[in-house]
Structure 1
Amino acid sequence: MLLGSGELGKEFTIAAQRLGNQVIAVDRYPNAPAMQVADESEVISMLSEEDLERVVSKHQPDYIIPEIEAIRTEKLAEFEQRGITVIPTAKATHYTMNRDRIRELAHSGLGVRTAKYAYATTLAEMQATAQEIGFPNVVKPVMSSSGKGQSVVANAAEVETAWNYAIDGSRGDSQKVIIEEFINFEIEITLLTIKQWNSPTIFCPPIGHRQERGDYQESWQPAEITPAQLSDAQAIATKVTNALGGAGIFGVEFFITADEVIFSELSPRPHDTGMVTLISQNLNEFELHLRAVLGLAIPNIIQYAPAASAVILASEQSDSIYFTGVDKALNTPDVDVRLFGKPDSRPYRRMGVTLAKAETTELARAKAVAAASQITIVDR
């Protein structure tokens, strides 16, 4: 049972069905991407304990796999006690669905280097805290996904706008934000970390990514970091995921500076920047997640070539859309397109990605961005 049925859940569903699994896709709205390919679907509020109880009792899943943050995570522990496997674990899901808990675990519990940070639950608290952290700083809701509600605050005059944006972008019933020091990084990376039940933790080649408005716009693999930086990132990722337990793929994000590898965030599931693996690897991140969850062997991970992804964004609100330019995008060799099948659009909503391979990551990025620019979302 998938709790959350977006584009990541859709690709995971396809991978699961190819190995004979039955998938129930659950989300808060009908016809979500994963529902279009799943065996069964349910539309509920995942913040409702009663709704969660009803669909779990109805379907009796062997595995519950959360895909989004807006879930009543306390209920997952109850399901786990009944013998249902929660991925990666109910504890891990509870920690990682909230930025404050995972940050405290990494920084205070494990001694991992993170950005300097503090919290606020009111505008007045945020104004005072932002002054203590210093400007510029980064403000995020403690509970959100895909960068929603995140902004960089340059000075005190921008604090109120950032507070309102963070609260609007918060998922669930949280009214809490985290204020972080701004890290002058050379590159941001995602290290896809595969934690297995009875085998060592393994990694995909590091993925670089570029964000706007707190949401990823491009990703590329491999990211150009030094062997020492990669070793440090792998050690930190292993330390944090070991503390969380369970099995599955984790998207562990880092800031890489000239002198440090700094832990940023962690998602206990396939990562949006990892969609590049749909073209770059012999086993994509969704297949790796499935194998780790089911305890199946992962003999090797092979990267075929430098590769990149670029997002296809909506610019308007519409509940009836179609795409033009897909044929043009696919005219370029080693380019592919994934349209997610979301039933409606809104400004900056991610509606698909283009994927590209090339001789270098720079060429792959250019091909992916060019392909994405050829695709237009049209209101019927």
Structure 2
Amino acid sequence: MYLATLMLLGSGELGREFAIAAKRLGCRVIACDRYDDAPAMQVADAREVFSMLDGTALRAAVEKHKPDYVVPEIEAIDTAMLAMLEGEGWHVVPSAKAVQLTMNRDGIRDFAAQELGLTTSRYIFAETREEAIAAGVGLPAVVKPVMSSSGKGQSVARTEAELATAFDYAVANMRGDRPRVIVEAFIDFDYEITLLTVATKDGILFCPPIGHRQEGGDYRTSWQPAPMDPAVLKSAQDQAAKVVGALGGHGLFGVEFFVAGDQAIFSELSPRPHDTGMVTLIGQNPNEFELHLRAILGLPIPAITQHGPSASAVILADRESSDFAFTGVAAALEDGADIRLFAKPVTLRNRRMGVALALGESIDQAIERAEQAAAKIDIQYLA
């Protein structure tokens, strides 16, 4: 009856688009998250509500639904339980090793820098304010929780006093139960990219690079293809292939790089579709969610093509509310832009509630159209 049963661990907007892609190919989707009515749950066949950090609940859900593939979408997961389940024969995407290393910044950074020799910034890990201040990577420095999502808890410190404050901010906004941060030397980069890298049964594929602009560690606008020197792009591709190949498994990885001059400097990696890759929903075929699904299932992947310069711009909430409505959708769609509203049940300050997507004759025009469309969407708070 079903092509495959997929269990999503985390059911946000990325999980929602993945679930839609999976349903189009006749898969059964079980959406799991810590709160009910999460975006992917609204399009799934079944749902389970529990903390992904609760290993007992995680095992119970897997044994209940017997998925062919367990597909992590968030960072805060009991990775030890995932490894145990994989050892018993359950298929974790892309692999338990990849999830364990990449869900924590300390794991993937040490793996990339120390074991694989990729180009990274100088960094140390700190579990106390004193260790953060004594980091020795120089100032300014970027301080991040080792476990977080969408840039939460990230800040730049320019003095020792700010290092202490940044440590507190990182710990307060971390996911999981480890009060540990990464302190890394600030890189005066020219721009940053996400290189969507697809590990398939037939080898590794790359999507055109995605440029993005961040505020507070979270992306605000992304565009594709990001203009790059071919030699720098080749360096990024070589590094991405090296780390993805070493992690093993099949699926799409979002590999982030800083670009400074002629250097591509490895930053982070996510073993799943990437938020900046929402732009592929309008500008690329297959999009990142379809690529992830096909790679997981071992299905053929056609040549990755572009419809033209494309961009995405986020739609953010500015306060907490469970009683709200969207206005301005018709106006946002007037000039050929597209809109994805995620249907999250609650708004939070700076929470991503949707994204505007646009094509253009140039990257600049696509960005302008996406940002203008996003600005036309207004969140009306009713209580």
Distance in 2 between residues matched to 1:276 and 1:57, nearest whole Å: 36
Structure 2 equivalent of residue 321 of structure 1: 324
Amino acid at match of 2:227: E
Identify the residue that residue 259 of structure 1 maps to in structure 2: 262
Confirm or deny: 8 A CA contact 2:232 2:262 kept in the other structure.
Answer: no
Deviation at 1:366, TM superposition (A): 0.5
Give the SS at the match of 2:301: coil
User: Residue 134 of structure 2 aligns to a residue in which SS?
Assistant: helix
Residues 132-162 of structure 1: CA deviation (Å, up to 9, x unaligned): 1111110000011111100111222212221
Counterpart of 1:138 in structure 2 is 142
Q: RMSD across aligned C-alpha pairs, in angstroms?
A: 0.7
Which residue pairs with 1:309 in the alignment?
A: 312
Once the two structures are superposed, residues 311-330 of structure 1 have per-residue CA deviations (whole angstroms, 9 ceiling, x without a partner) of 00001110111101111100
The superposition leaves residues 315-369 of structure 1 with CA deviations (integer Å, 9 ceiling, x where unpaired) of 1110111101111100112x10000011011110000000000000000001101
Tell me how far apart the structure 2 counterparts of residues 56 and 138 of structure 1 sit (CA, whole Å): 38
Distance 1:56 1:82 in 2: 12
Q: 1-side partners of 2:327 and 2:215: how far apart?
A: 24
Once the two structures are superposed, the pairs formed by residues 185-334 of structure 1 within 5 Å of their partners are 185-196=189-200, 198-333=201-336
Per the alignment, residue 94 of structure 1 pairs with 100
Q: 1:178 aligns with which of 158, 176, 182?
A: 182
Aligned to 2:372, the other structure's residue is in SS state helix
Instruction: Tell me the equivalent position of 2:377.
Output: 375
Distance 1:354 1:69 in 2: 25
Distance in 2 (alpha carbons) for counterparts of 1:325 and 1:48: 40
Q: Which letter does structure 2 place at the counterpart of 1:61?
A: P
Partner of 2:83: 77
Pairwise CA distance, 1:84: 1.5
Query: Structure 1 residue runs of 4+, over 3 Å off?
Result: none
Mapped pair 1:155 → 2:168? no
1:169 has 2:168 as partner: no
342, 347, 350: which one pairs with 1:348? Answer: 350
User: 1:254 & 1:21 partners in 2: Cα distance?
Assistant: 33
The one-letter amino acid of 1:261's match is A
Cα drift, residue 46 of structure 1? 1.1
SS class of match (2:346): coil
Cα distance, 1:259 vs. partner?
A: 2.7
In 2: Cα distance, 1:253 partner to 1:329 partner: 30
One-letter identity of the residue aligned with 2:291: L
Q: Distance in 2 between matches of 1:126 and 1:182?
A: 14
Aligned positions of 1:107-146 closer than 5 A: 107-129=113-135, 132-146=136-150
Question: Alpha-carbon deviation of 1:123?
Answer: 1.0
31, 44, 66: which is aligned to 1:25? 31
Structure 2 counterpart SS, 1:369: helix
Shift of 1:169: 1.4
Return the alpha-carbon distance in structure 2 between the equivalents of residues 164 and 324 of structure 1.
37
Cross-structure match for 1:366: 368
Q: Give the superposition deviation at 1:216.
A: 0.4
In structure 2, what is the Cα distance between the partners aligned to 1:69 and 1:17? Answer: 24
Letter in 1 for 2:210: I
2-structure distance, mates of 1:301, 1:259: 26
TM-score of the superposed pair, with normalisation by structure 1: 0.98
Name structure 1 gaps, 5 residues minimum: none
Amino acid at match of 1:223: A
Structure 2's unaligned 5+ residue stretches are 1-6
Aligned length: 376
Amino acid at match of 1:282: N
